[in-house]
Chain A
Amino acid sequence: MLTITQALHDALVAHARADHPDEACGVIAGPAGSDRPERHIPMLNAARSPTFYEFDSTDLLKLYRELDDRDEEPVVIYHSHTATEAYPSRTDISYANEPGAHYVLVSTADTDGAGPFQFRSFRIVDGEVTEEEVSVV
């Protein structure tokens, strides 16, 4: 289960909405081993694409150095889908390299008729996707 504060939840949705129709991406860092997402770090989508995202490689190095220095880890790795549902695509699965992270997908496409945004969380380990409950506190 992913437990996330309302403020962080809203910050991710706001980022996804702001970058629409391009995909937005970023992480929420937390103390290593805590599984608590605490610090929102929006990242630049170097691909600037409606169907693809990639952290800029220089920013990526800076991010991981910073996390290391602060004894943090990427608790949440998120991105948006802007025309499809908030479910990991084949691309998402093949590039998922953090088995300990919660992969959050935010959809800015109203594909389910259930409301303006989907906010869903997954584990992606060895190519296997498992959806998990999201608890907003």
Chain B
Amino acid sequence: MAIEVRIPTILRTYTDGQKAVDGSGATLDELFTDLDTRHPGIRERIVKDGELRRFVNVYLNDEDVRFLDGIATKLADGDSVTILPAVAGGAGAQPRPAGVVAGRRAGGTR
């Protein structure tokens, strides 16, 4: 059972630079285990404690698998799986300190 897996740039170190590789498995979980036999280490970048990592998106054809069955999502011959790390971040820290004068933002004079 052949499934095409599209690999993001950041994980191509595991696939000798290939943008897509073939794998097999009845579920995503099996597919990632299969990939790991030929591309050691790749599974751990996608899966943690038996679940998909929070900031790695996996799509079956056009659908985010979080809206399907996650890592248990069933696969069929000819399916295409795409892996894309989330594009995310943010200040995540402290709120604006007191004493910063908001009104200056709009003005050009200081």
Q: Once the chains are docked, how many angstroms separate the CA of A95 from the CA of B80?
A: 25
Let me know if B91 and A23 touch, CB within 8 A: yes
On chain A, the number of residues with a Cβ less than 8 Å from chain B's Cβ atoms is 41
Chain A residues whose CB sits within 8 angstroms of the CB of B95 once the complex forms: 83
A-B contact count (CB 8 A): 113
Let me know if B87 and A25 touch, CB within 8 A: yes
Q: Once the chains are docked, how many angstroms separate the CA of A89 from the CA of B93?
A: 8
Let me know if B84 and A91 touch, CB within 8 A: no
Q: Once the chains are docked, how many angstroms separate the CA of A83 from the CA of B94?
A: 8
B contact residues, range: 20 to 34
Nearest A residue to B10 via CB reads A97
Please give the distance in Å from A32's CB to the nearest CB on chain B.
11
Let me know if A52 and B105 touch, CB within 8 A: no
25 A-B residue pairs with Cβ-Cβ distance under 8 Å, sorted by A, are A47-B88, A47-B90, A51-B90, A52-B92, A54-B86, A55-B87, A57-B59, A57-B66, A60-B87, A61-B59, A61-B62, A64-B84, A81-B90, A83-B91, A84-B93, A84-B94, A89-B92, A91-B89, A92-B90, A95-B86, A98-B9, A98-B10, A110-B101, A111-B97, A116-B105
Query: Using an 8 Å CB-CB cutoff, how does the interface string of B53-65 with A read, 1 for contact, 0 for none?
Result: 0010101001010
Further pairs besides A61-B57, A64-B84: 4, Cβ < 8 Å: A61-B64, A61-B84, A91-B88, A91-B89
Query: Using an 8 Å CB-CB cutoff, how does the interface string of A59-91 with B read, 1 for contact, 0 for none?
Result: 011001000000000000101011110001111
Nearest A residue to B65 via CB reads A57
Let me know if A111 and B100 touch, CB within 8 A: yes
Chain B residues whose CB sits within 8 angstroms of the CB of A92 once the complex forms: 89-90
Of the candidates A27, A51, A98, which one forms a contact with B93 in the assembled complex, judged by CB atoms under 8 Å apart?
A: A51
Q: Secondary structure at chain A's binding surface: helix, strand, loop or mixed? A: loop
B8 within 8 A of A: yes
Let me know if B90 and A110 touch, CB within 8 A: no
A127 within 8 A of B: no
Could you list which residues of chain A lie within 8 angstroms of chain B, going by C-beta atoms? 23, 25, 27, 43, 47, 49-55, 57-58, 60-61, 64, 77, 79, 81-84, 88-92, 95-100, 108-111, 113, 115-116
Please give the distance in Å from A33's CB to the nearest CB on chain B.
12
Chain A residues whose CB sits within 8 angstroms of the CB of B64 once the complex forms: 57-58, 61
Nearest A residue to B58 via CB reads A57
